[in-house]
Structure 1
Amino acid sequence: MNVAVIGLGAMGMGAAKSCLRAGLATTGCDLRDSARADFVAAGGAACASPAEIPQGTEAVLLLVVNAAQTEAALFGEAGCAGRMAPGGVVISSATMSPDDARRLAAAAEARGLLYLDAPVSGGAAKAASGEMTVMASGSAAAFERAQPVLDAVASKVWRLGDTPGIGATVKVVHQLLAGVHIAVAAEAMALGIRAGADPRQLYDVVTSAAGNSWMFENRMARVLEGDDAPRSAVDIFVKDLGLVAEMARGLNHPVPLASQAQQLFTAASAMGHGRADDGFVIRVWQALTGIPLPGDKPKG
């Protein structure tokens, strides 16, 4: 199967290399020279524009930032839709609103393409090992055509329905939980530090007790080490919690915790930390209270 992966970022690179390991003829597409060189060194082919993917590509996996980038990569002036094989499948994995997923699916289907609404979770590590979780909805034909790619990149594929938009809905709800969990993890760690608790002991206690969460254990470990390299950046949750608010408004449904968490991520971004790892939303509390963070180097 000829596959193109659009977006060789933290998750896209891992997914593209997983496709290679599975024996799929894979082209990686990214604007960055360094990303393309990395993928070529792994044995893949690479291009800088979606319009340059091989003619007759049977499946395109899009791991870009949002709906706008997905639309441009598919249907823009430099889009790839015209280079796909008739009946090829678009596997759309950017986090977006359900309305955008349905709109893009209709545009793909009008061009004779199948469309799988297939957002993902698992981060860079799971992408690299081919063990992402996929939350997918689409026709049986779309699932069947996408199966070799799904087998390569995921350990769990949820079949959530036969119409696009359901996958996006579940992903938005998932991001509500993820964003709130990260924000409250940072709040708890900041409070403990302010009150004089040893942050490493606090981490050890919480991760062995009922108050633990996956996000506390994962993100606060990075805070303890001062490791703010972005596996998932602060700005991702500015965007994704905005999608939560947008979906909730359309349903006249209150989401007060998600809204507060979005404001905290927005504050961290406004302070210049938008590209830092999302656990470093804790910088908001540091700025407000002056707390030291254990991984920060002493000044002077």
Structure 2
Amino acid sequence: MKLGVVGLGSMGYGIAASLLRAGHEVCGADVNCEAVERLRTEGAMSEEIVTAAPDLHALVIVVLNSAQTESVLFSENGLAPKLTPGAVVICCVTVPPDFARAMAARCGAFGVHFLDAPISGGSVKAAQGKLSIMASGTAQAFEAARPMLDATAETVFKLGDSAGTGSAMKAVNQMLAGTHIAAMAEAITFGMTQGISPDTFLQVIPDCAGTSWMLENRAPHVVAGDYTPHSAVDIWPKDLGIVLDAARASKFSAPLTATALQQFIAASGMGLGREDDAAVTKVYARNAGLTLPGEE
């Protein structure tokens, strides 16, 4: 089966590599030409995605935000009109639920299915083909997307028969994930003010009730002083912004999320936007006059 993947960052590249391992023909596209060439050396098609579009059974979108998603599909050189009716767009981007619904309707006008399919699990699970996918869409969209889902996901949650519900669930997940990262940053630096080193923190807390998946995944980055981006700081102002926009529209108060958002904005303002999101810890450390591992 021929599949296109637009967006070859840490998540998209892992998805594309998993599709190749499963024996699919893959056409990759990204503004980073080096990522495209690297994927081609691993067996991807050499054809440009605009040319390949009419032959694609599925188009997987793993770009940064809704504006980029809309551009991929409906700009002057957008791919939606070039896809053959019956093909499916699989949108793995974190976007507002209403945006996902709008994209589904616009794709449908061309006879193209749309699966609202945001992803979770990080770059490691993307590379392993073990993502969790929160998906919603028509039965036809799920059926058309099945080869991609089988190759890239450990768990697929079927959340409804129309686009939007998958993105709503991703917003709930991001609310928790973002606040958990900020809470880890606050706790590990608070511990330092009490004479508890980050290394000791990491030895103890994962075996206690206060732990979380995000703490166990991100705190080691702080202890190692390694902020190589697996998930960048700048993702969170966008994702938590989506959460708070939805909360505001529902007249729902989300004060913890709002506070976490401000910390990520502060980190981005400090020039840390392209670092791993664990770098939000540096906001707390600098405010408290602390020296983190790797900064000695």
What band does the TM-score fall into relative to the shorter chain?
Answer: over 0.9
> Quick one: structure 1 residues 54 and 97, their matched pair in 2 at CA, closer, same or farther if it must change by over 3 Å?
closer
Cα distance in structure 1, aligned partners of 2:47 and 2:55: 15
SS in 2 for 1:239: helix
User: Residue 97 of structure 1 corresponds to which residue in structure 2?
Assistant: 96
User: 1:44 Cα deviation (Å)?
Assistant: 0.6
For the Cα contact (< 8 Å) 1:192–1:199, is it kept in 2?
A: yes
**Residues 12-66 of structure 1 deviation map (CA, whole Å, 9 limit, x = unaligned):** 0010011111111110111112101110111112566x53434321100000111
Counterpart Cα distance in 1 of 2:149 and 2:232: 25
Instruction: Report the alpha carbon displacement of residue 79 of structure 1 after superposing the two structures with TM.
Output: 1.4
Structure 2 contact 237–264 (Cα < 8 Å) conserved? yes
CA contact (8 A) 1:57 1:83 kept: no
Structure 1 pair 189–109 and aligned structure 2 pair: CA distance change class (3 A): same
- Equivalents in 1 of 2:21, 2:216: separation in Å? 30
Q: What is the DSSP-based 3-state SS (H/G/I as helix, E as strand, rest coil) of the residue aligned with 1:26?
A: strand
Aligned residue type for 2:18: S
Give the Cα–Cα distance (whole angstroms) in 2 for the partners of residues 293 and 56 of structure 1: 52
The yes-or-no answer on 1:27 pairing with 2:23 is no
Question: What residue in structure 2 maps to residue 267 of structure 1?
Answer: 266
Q: Given the alignment of the two structures, is residue 142 of structure 1 paired with residue 141 of structure 2, yes or no? A: yes
Residue in structure 2 matched with residue 37 of structure 1 by the alignment: 37
Mapped partners of 2:191, 2:38: distance in 1: 41
Task: Provide the C-alpha distance between the structure 2 equivalents of 1:91 and 1:54, rounded to a whole number of angstroms.
Answer: 14
Write the deviation string for residues 152-173 of structure 1: whole angstroms up to 9, x where unpaired: 1101000000010000000001
Q: Which residue is equivalent to 1:190?
A: 189
TM-score scaled by structure 2?
A: 0.98
What is the CA deviation profile of residues 62-83 of structure 1, one whole-angstrom value per residue up to 9, with x for unaligned ones? 0011111111001111211132
CA distance in 2, matches of 1:157, 1:46: 30
Q: Which letter does structure 2 place at the counterpart of 1:79?
A: G
What is the DSSP-based 3-state SS (H/G/I as helix, E as strand, rest coil) of the residue aligned with 2:60?
A: strand
Match of 1:14 in 2: 14
SS at match of 1:60: strand
Q: Does 1:152 align with 2:151?
A: yes
Letter in 1 for 2:87: G
Within 1, Cα distance between the matches of 2:238 and 2:46? 28
* Corresponding residue number in structure 2 for 1:246: 245
Equivalences for 1:115-194 in 2 at 5 Å?
Answer: 115-194=114-193
Deviations 1:244-266, CA, capped at 9 Å, x for gaps: 10000110000000000000000
Question: Could you tell me whether the CA contact under 8 Å between 2:198 and 2:222 is conserved in 1?
Answer: no
Deviation per residue, 1:261-292 (Å, 9 max, x gap): 00000000001001111111011112211101
Runs of 5+ consecutive residues of structure 1 not aligned to the other structure: none
Q: C-alpha displacement at 1:295, in angstroms? A: 2.6
CA distance, structure 2, for counterparts of residue 46 and residue 279 of structure 1:
36
Q: Which residue of 1 aligns with 2:280?
A: 281
Aligned residues: 296
1:36–1:47 Cα contact (<8 Å) kept:
no
Whole-angstrom CA distance in 1 between matches of 2:150 and 2:162:
21
> Match for residue 68 of structure 1?
67
For the residues of structure 1 that align with 2:176 and 2:95, how far apart are their CA atoms? 16
Measured in 2, the distance between the counterparts of 1:64 and 1:107 equals 18
Measure the CA separation in 2 of the matches of 1:202 and 1:185.
Answer: 10
Aligned-residue sequence identity (percent) comes to 46
| Cα distance in 2, alignment partners of residues 78 and 227 from structure 1 | 39
Alignment check: 8 A CA contact 1:53 1:83 kept: no
| CA-atom RMSD in angstroms | 1.1
What is the distance in 2 between the residues matched to 1:77 and 1:46? 23
Conserved in 2, the CA contact under 8 Å of 1:6 and 1:12? yes
Which residue of structure 1 lines up, in the alignment, with residue 113 of structure 2? 114
Q: Shift of the alpha carbon at 1:208?
A: 1.4
Which 4+ runs in 1 deviate beyond 4 A? none
TM-score, structure 1 as length reference? 0.96
2:186 and 2:172 map into 1 onto residues whose CA distance is: 21
Tell me, in whole angstroms, the C-alpha distance in 1 between the residues paired with 2:275 and 2:18: 26
Q: Distance in 2 between matches of 1:41 and 1:83?
A: 26
